[in-house]
Structure 1
Amino acid sequence: MLASRRHGTLYIGITNSLQKRLEEHRNGKGSKFVKRYGVHRLVYTETYERADEAIAREKQLKRWKRDWKIELIERDNPEWRDLSDLLV
């Protein structure tokens, strides 16, 4: 999950290469939504072995109320810090 800032615009997506996808977003090659709203801060991640599980979870999270998404982020990342520095 990406955010523009703390409690800012949120973006939910899936990828098989998070580091590559973040680089694309930050270079303006990601989605138009991300580019338009400046959503570049990685604030929450989940990992799945199977693509179908990741897709199902993405769809579930997109249906969630905004408050629920914020609670999910703040459970593990209360400061909304950019987690991209943790990627290997």
Structure 2
Amino acid sequence: MKQTHYLTTTVQQGNRLEISLPNLPVGQTIEVILIVPETAQNHSMERQAFQQLPLEERRRILAQQAEAMTDYYQENQEWKDWINF
């Protein structure tokens, strides 16, 4: 089974990342997934615009998104492999 570590780091000078995992041997190959958060300002503006929509429109949008995500997670083999490792 794959080990999972959740770390948060900051982009360093020269656009470099530093990750320290002392329990892994030198030369060990690892997989890295980067998640870059959206800026708070963009996220806040999008949320405000969504909240200003009529309730029925918000419900329609959320239902479409939920259906699309359900299809994606049920059919995407890479996702299935990742959660079943």
TM range (shorter): 0.3 to 0.5
Instruction: Point out the structure with the larger strand share.
Output: 1
Determine which structure has greater relative contact order: mean sequence separation of CA pairs < 8 Å that are 6+ residues apart, divided by chain length. Answer: 1
